[in-house]
Chain A
């Protein structure tokens, strides 16, 4: 009852303030555009639009910024599907199946399911956020360095699911990624590692230029090489066809359900965030799907799973931000800066002290997600027009966007060079059929694995037993072991049974013959 009353309060604040609804729409729209541009992610979008909110009421301002956040989460999938370049880091996994779908003339369907999955992920999590935010916030801080280490190990096992045809090539890619993750200053000693004295490398290699190079540039070069145009099936652009059919819903629904829960939980953990949520959700979908062999070749659930997870994670990340003052991602960190600017300090007493504000925001999240759905679906015919542009022109424009995007990351030409370098590397890898996704995942997870391992070892006085002896660590590591070795072991047992039963049968037939 209390909850409904609060929600009523929230909606009445919104209705009293029609401008706020307008700004929610403006925020979502800006977010979708920013998300779709390669290199510009939600945190940059929020930072750039922050000055616009200076003159606004706090509620209105934060509603707009939240709109940018979830708009960008969906926007990233647009460029991922249409031009095989993740618009932001959380959309890396969306390229794996989204782009093949586009190549097959199913771009509309892929973007449609991405929009639905995003909105479902977002809306479900608003409800969860509303119900349990203050209670589960404490769960997030139960994760210390040792627990993060085990979580990262779990994440790394998902590489096994991305290796494609050849596990050796997959692991080659992953180890290359782990190597790239070691570049930079050592967190503990401050010593330089593989930096060649270049200060640009001191903070390590950001994985956004890597992803843009490996996916975007490499794709442009290969497409030119193969001179293959994407066929656009005009009929697929009709609104009716943007709704996935019954069969497709059947494929996607369980993955959206699981991806949303997984995404929310990962989002809760500070430092894990939407990108890792999307990785893990894709992996989970691939493992649990009945048609896992179709993944990477255009499985529609391969788009749905990461998309719902990254929107769910963006909601999850708001829980520790509002209730503990711990931002779980770059975007929430900037949002927290905005809150403090408005004189509102997030923390345990936030919901109590700023009830109007908090419930107004929650109500706006419902509105924002509806806006996202409407914009996503109505905008689709426009987005898809991109594919009608002739390949040479489109490629040149995309290349321009990628290079500008990589410059704007740090306002540095160094990143542009880095993007081109990884583009060239990506081309070679494509020709050698080495998958790129394991490398990107290894770069994201590698640095965090090392950081958390070293912190955990320091906290455990160098005693690995103490470090691994924590309950959460044990559970997560067992899960990782199970995922890594479960399938081969089960297969081996099955094979052994088969062969033994086959032998039995042989023997029986031998006996019969004798």
Chain B
């Protein structure tokens, strides 16, 4: 199946626009795409007429152009018929925004939708979903643009069963400066499910990381999903709800009692090289790190900071997450000492964690990162920046990021995320070096980069 019409449509029909409510999902989708996206948009309502100065077509078949994508927001009972009309009109795919199907017990309507679409192998996302958001191309979320926070265009694809979780994740992605290629809410996933989208994005040249919010799989579907993910050359990150099991029924074997659904999910994902994020915080940090470095490096971390406390806390977090902070060799320590500023040399600790102290100059950070970048003793540098230290400037982010470009040694940074330090943060972000707003987040990034995949 070709899914390009969902993510890069040139022509879009919005079926079900209202004349009485600007806030009707179809109207919001129509107006945002009309005003802010490149696709040609055609509103549809049986009454015809005009909306925002555009001609409203009385049916999909009346639109004079070939339609790539139909966005359907009509009453649930009308959807199967509309799907048939779309197929007849040669539409390439449809997103069904409407709710009122299996989620409210109307399995008959959902079955009718499936029947209408599968006869011609017609791709449908939904029902009961937000559809797709691809920065610069299409946005079928029925949320007014001024209300949402949108991440920039980038290389992470997110697929979510829940629309609410998806929009919330996008807020967090935007906050961390993580760019997305596509975000898709699949709702009831009556036809297109996680597995087909995994397949699609594993071939999508604009996507380097594929993230999922999963509630559950159909019988044996999980087995196929993880096998496909293991073969996917791109990192796959998942977050799953349902950690706590309610009303655990009496089980007759110890294994059945120990092997709860989430525990099985976690073990099986690990086995197949899938990153399992325990919460949104982990998901965001994994995605940011993997969007910058898709090759896995290793678990030996070199910690650089201007504060002993930051070094100590990050060593604790590294150990907790199975990372090593090895003591540097005498030779490497000597090499480091030689390049540091005179006043720093005598007070810095350079065994690893490296504490350059509050007297450190920008020069000391650059030199330290450069020397560590050239060493085999560590696999990744964790740079904890305290922007209030007088010796450093806002240029530091960009300067050390360029060292990564030169040596290829992965670097992750911690900088407090407040507006005052924005230029420093962007110095990293714009140069594709992941930067977290917390020490714990930066350590999770290092963990993601250091985890071997598809063993």
Q: Do A and B come from one complex?
A: no
